[in-house]
Structure 1
Amino acid sequence: MGRNLQSGGRLRPVDLARGHGLSTQAVRNYEGAGILPAAERTPHGYRTYTALHARALRAFLALLPGHGHQTAKSIMRAVNQGAVDEAFRLIDESHVQLLEDRRTLQAVERALQDLQPLPASGTGPEGMFVGPLARQLGIRPATLRKWELAGLVHPRRDPRTGYRVYDEADVRDARLVHQLRRGGYLLEQIAPLITQVRSAGGLEPLEAALSDWRDRLAGRGRAMLTGAAELEAYLAGGA
């Protein structure tokens, strides 16, 4: 898709920057990264922008909250290079990820329905070793060991081999940690939730975290709509 750099009046870098609360260096960086079309130059070498560049900048800034910096940058670069289908593919991938995150949230909420107080007795002789559990979750064994160091899981040691053994409660906690990590929570944020679940003193903290997660997913969805509208304005205005 060709870009008509003559559309609209002339804008200095500072005009474009001030209009969006940015520094002039940020505008130059965006141009250098391909987020904005290449600027024309005056006979003295100064950059000049147009309304097209302003639309491109608005589109990029609108795409950021829903897609993240790297994907938003890739979308704009694809559009500016004429690869609009690639831009649409990237957008589709973001929507797929959002849908997967929603399904993950639903899985966590379903998991809550089955959470029960831990039995007072000790752990039984059966359980899962670190390798099979890691494969089940799709993570590395080192990740499970990291969670153990953070106090999120408490596997026992097999008395004969010394290997870690995860009982049913450990497996439940590991799955819950994995789901919350996918939701963007840090280990230090997850720790008190797991402790609360483990002690069976109430699920309010976990429910509050899930409510926050749900709100953030809704925010991403709305941000994607806003980004799509600004991108369409850019595509229509630059056609």
Structure 2
Amino acid sequence: MNEEQAVLDFFAQPENLPLALAVADQVDNIRMRLNNNFWLATRAGVDELINSHALTWESELTEDRNTENCLVGVYLQPLGGARIYLRPFMEQQLMGDAFRIYCGLMWSTTPTPEQLRLPAVADLRDAMLARGFKNNESFLAWQWTGLYPRRKNFLMQLSEHKDTLLEQVMELWQGLLIEHGAALQTANSALNEQPPLATFSLDQLRTSLKKS
């Protein structure tokens, strides 16, 4: 019997339940600390990528709304502001009993049908779909990664081979910001060339005409 199994057998004994639960709480804290360190390191890598290519983005951390001091992702905001835009993101999501990381391009607000049909937006969507991304009303493009940030193998790699893990993560960001960067910029420019609320006003007019 190896040492790890002996420890597990010890905690499995009914009389050791209080100690087992205390250890479990401590392990949960360690997982969250490592998880936070991962997202901080990811943000630092993204900032370096932004600066090295003089990109017009700034990074923000995403926090878990239900858990204090728990980081769950990184997303980008365009410099200078915009009415509506597509922003690159990477975030972890609880799926069943495990967290999994996904990434892609998220809408800042719900787009209108006319905005979805803009050629620059449609071209970007088609290019992302061709790369295996999916599409829904909240995301122009999203895709699961093979990263499970709370699992043992991920946390061990983060602790022992952090640079290798972050290289893998940054390849995903490079795809979003460099490979598709020009098309993303074109799409965001096209979205903000549209007259604000013009489509909404037309919809209101159509509704009024139907009622009259």
| Larger relative contact order, structure 1 or 2 (CA cutoff 8 Å, min sep 6) | 1
Quick check: which one's strand share is greater?
A: 2
Quick check: which one's helix share is greater?
A: 1
TM-score range, shorter chain: under 0.3
| Greater C-alpha Rg | 1
TM-score (norm 2): 0.25
